[in-house]
Chain A
Amino acid sequence: MAIDSLVLGAGQQVGKSCVVVSMNGKRIMFDCGMDMAYHDHRRYPDFSRISNSGDFDSALTCIVITHFHLDHIGALPYFTEVCGYSGPIYMTYPTKALAPLMLEDYRKVMVERRGEEEQFTSEHIVECMKKVIAVDLKQTVHVDKDLWIRAYYAGHVLGAAMFYAKVGDTAMVYTGDYNMTPDRHLGAAQIDRLQLDLLISESTYATTIRDSKYGREREFLKAVHKCVAGGGKVLIPTFALGRAQELCILLEDYWERMNLKIPIYFSSGLTMQANMYYKMLISWTSQKVKETYSTHNAFDFKHVLNFDRSMIAAPGPCVLFATPGWLSGGFSLEVFKHWAPSEMNLVTLPGYCAAGTIGHKLMSGKPTKIDLDKNTQLDVRCQIHQLSFSPHTDAKGIMDLVKFLSPKHVILVHGEKPKMATLKGRIHSELGIPCDDPANNETVSISSTHYVKARASDTFIHSSLNPNFKFSKSISEDESGSCLKDRRFMPQLQVTDERTAEGILIEEKNKKAKILHQDELLLMLGEKKHEVRFAYCCPINVSNLEETKSTSDNVLCTSDRCSWLQLLNNKLSGEISGGNIQDFGEHLQVESFDISVCLNDKCPYRIIDTQNKSEAVFFCCTWSVADEKLAWKIISIMDNFDCESH
């Protein structure tokens, strides 16, 4: 069995996410994103690779969408309404609620502003969303008889989820975008320890390691506080969802503690509608927000007021959140024009601004003059503060997740090629997990676990019920792999429970596999037990043998034999302390070591062809491997044994 992962997008790039995974006969498409950088067919994944005939319904079992960002969902209406996929689509409730807004917004921008040809219409979006089945966190959904999926919290944005998919014995996780550290409004990604064959992880920051968010928050608060304390105005350009809420919670909390009375405004673009979604979707937010919402909903901003265009010129300090985020136009730019010339004011910019926007220009160096368009030039004297908050996990977070899940195989997507290569190396060398970073339209095949169903015999079941642990001392390798290894120190005590080790798996032709208890094996096979034994015929010198030999053909009579053994017995019991020597008359036994007098002159175990055999009595010794040490000890005693016959 194998898992085939066909990467249709976000292979060695940050862009349209789309991976089609086939396992055990099921085919799941994870995410269906678009690439905003292109305006031709390259913006969509190459769907023809899924099915040449265009019959996507039979080619795909389902589609799973992780979150509402366009690079994860942008191509969905096109795929369903234009390409004709009509199978099930799964996403979380918040994603289902927010995705149409994002899609509609995008469609408008494309059609109305750029005058592009419409790829899909508003009706398409509505129709597409009708096919969506919403899921909740940790809810196991049976897509069909064999395929289960389950969503786990991923942080990143409201409603983002990692998806676990399981077909038969094969299991995998597709992370989508996630964040391993919490922020003020969303929690950190959270997943169970699962047994996975494959983990497909994003790797946006494959080499970055971020410092504590506390420092960034402190700098931000300090800058804002300083500005308003000096009577200045703070402009925070953001997009409607996510950052605005995070920063607002941060400020709100600070305002509360410091008992500040300076107003915080939301521009009308950042309507309370967005906040309303957050208020309703409390269960998807961070622990703190969840814990306190019964007394105070963190998104009920106490200090926040609605901003009115007329207030731009009003005197006095204030803080204003305005859309859009990169000062690319709209209201935030309008306010910026008014406030930028004063040194008292402050503009905070997000960590990333698209090229060509005013935000981008502000970030590159500290310009004093900015050309708004051909005719207007703006004096920028205000302070500029850069925020580097990111909702993606950093390299350490990816490593932590991979280490926690310990899958059999990792595939990295959604990252830049050289950085992914570095991370791939680390995963392989540090965690010992094979890792791939396929390019777009490549397929990675990995083998998957194969389980055999077997019946168990009653004896085995019975023995499994009872604990049966053993202790042993060994200098074994530390299995946890993280031990400081030093052999100066003592050997370790090992505990093993032998219950399962006692079982034997039997696979017969045309029969179902069966597990037996080891004791039952011989019975089942109808065979006898074979045992490997060592044998050695050991001579013992007897000085006056001749005299004691009875007349009849140099053959020792039974009583003689017994007396020899008796002598030996006495000797051994003197030498071996604590050894349990049993006398059976004809032979002696110590554990599995067996001694009897050998009368066969051509005994095959006789190694020394003694010339003066007349002076030796031969004892045939046999023993099993387990008692090898004991055997050699006894033999050495016998070698040195000089027998005085009576």
Chain B
Amino acid sequence: MPYISVSVSIFKPKLHSLSLSLLMEELVPSSSEPLSPQTLASFRSFIINPSTPQSKISSIFETLTRSLQLTPDSLVLNLLSELASRHSNLSHLVFDSVRSNALLSSESIRLAAESLDALASISNTDPTLSTAIDELDDRLFVSLCFGPSVSVRSWLLRNAERFRIGPYLLLTLFLGFTKDPYPYVRKIALDGLVGVSKSGIIEDRSMINGCYCRAIELLGDMEDQVRSAAIRTVSAWGLILVASNLETKLYWSDDLFVKLCSMGRDMSMVVRVEAFDALGKINLVSEDILLQTLSKRVLAITKEKRSLGQCPAEQFEILASNVAGVLVHGLEDEFYEVRKSACHSLRTLTIISAEFAGEALNLLMDVLNDDSMFVRLEALETMLHMATCGHLKVQGTHMHMFLGTLLDSNTLIRSATRKILKLVKLPNIELFRLSFDSLIENLEKHPQDEADIFSVLFHTGCNHGKFVVSTINEASEEIDQASEGKLGFDSARVAALLVLAISAPLSHGEHVCSIPPRIFSYAVTLLGRISRALTDIMDQNALLAYLSQCSISTTFSATELNIRRGEPCLPVANIEIPNDTSNEIDGSTRTSSQQEKDGASKLQSWTMREPLELAAPLGEFQVEVRDEVMKPINLILAKVKDIWPSIHSGFTNEVLRTLRNFKEELATFTSDSLGTIGAVAFTLQYLQVIKQLAKVWEHFLPAKKLCSSGLGELDLILGKLDMRLRELRSRFTGLSMEQELQILELVLLTCTLRLCKVEICCHFATLKKLSTTVSRVESILKSANIEPTIFISEVGKLLCLNEMSSSEASCNPFMFKELLKHFSLSQFVLCGRLNQIKAELTIPDNDSENPLPFVSRLPVGIPCDITLHNTSNENKLWLRMSMDDESTQFVFLDLNLFGSSDEVRKFTYVAPFYKTPNAISFTLRVCMGMECLFEDVLSVKKYGGPERELTYLCQEREVHLSMISEH
């Protein structure tokens, strides 16, 4: 193509030198001919250049429109839609021009389709055109679909949603095109049917039935892709059909189930996976059909009843052979994808029938021998589901396989098995012993599992008190021997026995009498190890109290102690086994965090109090300056106290305005550097708290009914309030006891507010928080010898009352509402020096232009410049790194490694980020947070994250990363 290359080389220098008028002059006379590609290219560069003057754009638009009128062309169309997207002021004009010139007048189907595309994308960018696209005639779309071009047809069908075609018309179209001779079109039509089913608009029974039956016909299609799309369609419409009528529910559910089963033996892996996925969505099937899926032979009971569904006799054989053994085949499929899907489908199916669950369990136990880790894990998870639904009945024959997984070399498998063991009810002592021995073996081979194993032992112990007692009594000699002399309990077995023993008093029976009290005192020597394992039940203090009580007296009630039993229960909700192996990387971080736990338990009694640092080293002058700042701050704080009545009576808007003024006033002090920064920051924070409190209070006013008092809103504000209070408590050092007391009072108030609203959930956690706060308050009152406010003493009284009475009374919101009357805001006086813990985090030399290099799937180091203010080595700092998909990784910052405990420390830390995605580039949001040590409600963040809530010390930073190119 010599001609083009020549013309381009001529044109290029021209383009730069030409003015618009020249260009236009050149173009206008020749406009009867199609625009040359070069011209179009130059237009495009004008369009995408933001500095092109508007007049030029308009004239380009005119030229393009004229060209479209004369010779419709897809390149011109593209340019026009680009023009519309970049210059929204022209989008209406472009829309009209495309519609009248290309869409309606065009004879080429392809061009018409392209102009439809252009119109849809223009209306996407300009919301004012969304009605215009609605006004486009559906008939046009349909007639295009009926054109001879297959590619246009499939494109249109795939994009039908963009053109807002009415659902009934769409349904008809899709349904019709399931007959298309082109398999690709059939597949798209089926997918479209699935889409329509999701809209939920179609309610006509015969329509639903029609779609269902048509999809069933396509289950026999020659093409794999069509068959798998047909399965999705059958499933989607079948479920609607099932739900549409209560009377025929079972009939259609059976029918759907049998249809899907018939695809379980398809030759294509994709189809089989789809079939089992779909089977897992059915939650109602006749039991005889279900049982038949587990036997390749046609069962005698099925034969006798001949009632497979309610089918007539002549079809019985075929039906039975369709269903027979489908799940068995699925579970022993060649492809792990299919096996996994089959395992998954059992989750819902085992809920339907207990007998089926029993049979399925036999199979599942065998799946534990599968060669794919994914499948084994899926099988275990399914068992866990069964256990939570109470359908897991283990028998002796299962035990070899099941307990064998405790020795699996894979951590995930072992931990999944243990989770099941926690829930399982063992029928006899032999199995109990067998499980115990296997756990010991697990402990010996994989000592890193200790905490989890102890936890399992404790839970199983609670569930099987009788077995524990007899086991311990037999083994007590062994324990005694181990305790003689050194009291070492180095043997894992003895330690495990001790854990088992101390669980007995918590089981339902009165077995505690039979456990020798000395065993409990032995257990005290393992306090650290045991309490680490039982973090979900009690903390170390509670455990110690429990053990010492048990070792002295044998009669006590567990409720006296602070033990979380009887709570909805055992960590079922927390069970989440991640599927990807990448979590194994976290194992390393986890072990480090386990070591941390030891430290943390020591810190349980750690208080916020720091020796009051007075401004002794400051000179006279400085003190004066300080006072000059402190005075107005205290004045503001006094005013805050005064606005409490306004809050109380609901003048929220006025209050908020006043608070804003205070904030502005405070902002003038920030330039100072003489130790008042902390005070100013504190006051700002305090104002924030009051602001949130005012907002919350609005919801508790009796007279005023808020029209939009959505529950979510209140929950949100309460959450904010919690966060602010947390920051107030944890980010400032140097608070006096009185000051801390005042903050704690606010915490108590927040808890009370939460408890007043029945609708707000997590009562238990809140109650728990309330009680720990009260105990903290009481200890401060005692040591500082301060009179409690009325509110505090009332809260204390109510709490005592609650603990004495049954747990139901604790949830009585009216009693808490009464409490609110006693509260009034006391004045906060700042005197001493306050220090704010804060951090500055920067990632040097990094922005979107200069990304950090990384290799996908390999860890990458993020160099962070960190400046910390007022941190001590006890603070537990974490770097939180999250990606756009919300996956988050935490890295623990061991402060002991970064210089002394100075007021300010500066260092560079290279934070490892492990889960780099398979992408060319990505952004990471990095932020630094501190664990609130007083927060004893553990947020169970697994795999190496912080155990407690974090308060964030700095602004989130964005880190840009991009993949190292191959060469």
Contact = CB atoms under 8 A, between A and B. Distances in A.
Interface of A: 181-182, 184, 187-188, 190-193, 209-215, 217-218, 221-222, 249, 253-254, 256-259, 286-288, 394, 396, 399-400, 404, 429-431, 462, 465-469, 471, 473, 478-486, 489-493, 495-497, 499
A211 B296 contact: yes
Interface string B313-335: 00101110110110011011111
B254 A215 contact: no
Nearest to A493: B210
A224 to B, nearest CB: 12
Nearest to A486: B310
A212 B312 CA distance: 30
15 contacts: A187-B334, A190-B267, A213-B332, A217-B369, A249-B371, A396-B296, A404-B265, A467-B153, A467-B179, A482-B259, A490-B205, A490-B209, A492-B209, A493-B207, A497-B181
Contact of B311 (A190, A485, A497): A485
A221 B369 contact: yes
Contact of B146 (A287, A466, A473, A492): A466
Interface string B156-178: 00000000000000001001111
Nearest to B262: A482
A380 B490 CA distance: 45
Interface in B335-359: 335-336
Given A218-B366, A257-B409, A493 B214 contact: yes
Contacts of A184: 371
Nearest to B405: A257
A396 B333 CA distance: 15
A222 B179 contact: no
Given A181-B329, A493-B206, A493-B210, A484 B251 contact: yes
Contacts of A490: 205-206, 209
Contacts of A466: 146-148
B258 interface: yes
In order of increasing CB-CB distance, the 7 nearest A-B pairs are A493-B210, A214-B366, A465-B148, A182-B334, A469-B176, A497-B179, A484-B311
A497 B180 contact: yes
Contact of A404 (B178, B266, B296, B328): B266
Interface stretch (B217-225, B528-536, B905-913): B217-225
A603 to B, nearest CB: 46
B267 A404 contact: yes
Given A192-B267, A404-B265, A495-B175, A484 B254 contact: yes
A480 B217 contact: yes
A287 B180 contact: no
A137 B251 CA distance: 44
Given A193-B222, A483-B216, A467 B176 contact: yes
A54 B576 CA distance: 73
A495 B205 contact: no
A313 to B, nearest CB: 31
B363 interface: yes
Contact of A484 (B319, B332, B401, B445): B319
Contacts of B179: 467, 469, 495-497
Contact of A467 (B146, B206, B319, B365): B146
B406 to A, nearest CB: 10
Contacts of A499: 181
Contact of B317 (A187, A253, A429): A429
Interface in B224-241: none
B217 A485 contact: no
A467 B177 contact: yes
Contacts of A485: 311-312, 315
B696 interface: no
B267 A191 contact: yes
B297 interface: yes
A469 B153 CA distance: 14
B311 A182 contact: no
A211 B331 CA distance: 12
A287 B334 contact: yes
A514 B322 CA distance: 42
Interface of B: 145-148, 153, 172, 175-181, 205-207, 209-211, 213-214, 216-217, 219-220, 222, 248, 251, 254-255, 258-259, 262, 265-267, 296-297, 309-312, 315, 317-319, 321-322, 324-325, 328-329, 331-336, 363, 365-367, 369, 371-372, 400-401, 404, 407-410, 445
- Main SS of the interface on chain B? helix
Contacts of B332: 181-182, 212-214
A217 to B, nearest CB: 6
B217 A479 contact: yes
The CB with the most chain A CB atoms within 10 A, among B255, B331, B332, B410, is that of B332
Given A467-B176, A484-B251, A485-B312, A430 B321 contact: yes
Contacts of B310: 484, 486
Contact of B371 (A288, A492, A496): A288
Contacts of B181: 497, 499
Given A217-B366, A486-B311, A493-B175, 14 more contacts: A181-B332, A182-B333, A209-B325, A212-B332, A222-B400, A400-B265, A404-B267, A429-B317, A430-B318, A468-B146, A484-B254, A484-B310, A489-B251, A493-B207
Contacts of B315: 481-485
Nearest to A465: B148
A220 to B, nearest CB: 10
A473 B175 CA distance: 14
B840 to A, nearest CB: 45
A484 B213 CA distance: 12
A495 B331 CA distance: 37
Given A181-B332, A257-B409, A484-B254, A493 B209 contact: yes
A101 B470 CA distance: 64
Of B318, B333, B371, the most chain A CB neighbours within 10 A belong to B371
Nearest to B446: A259
Given A484-B255, A497-B179, A399 B321 contact: yes
Contacts of B267: 190-193, 404
B335 A212 contact: no
Contacts of B324: 396
A482 B319 contact: yes
Nearest to B219: A480
Given A190-B267, A218-B366, A259-B407, A471 B445 contact: no
Nearest to B366: A214
A259 B319 contact: no
Contacts of B319: 482, 484
A251 B445 CA distance: 20
A169 B416 CA distance: 57
Contacts of A288: 334, 336, 371-372
Among B267, B296, B311, the one with the most A-chain Cβ atoms within 10 Å of its Cβ is B267
B366 A215 contact: yes
Contacts of B401: 218, 222
B331 A214 contact: yes
Contacts of B333: 182, 188
A258 B334 contact: no
A480 B180 CA distance: 18
Contacts of A221: 369
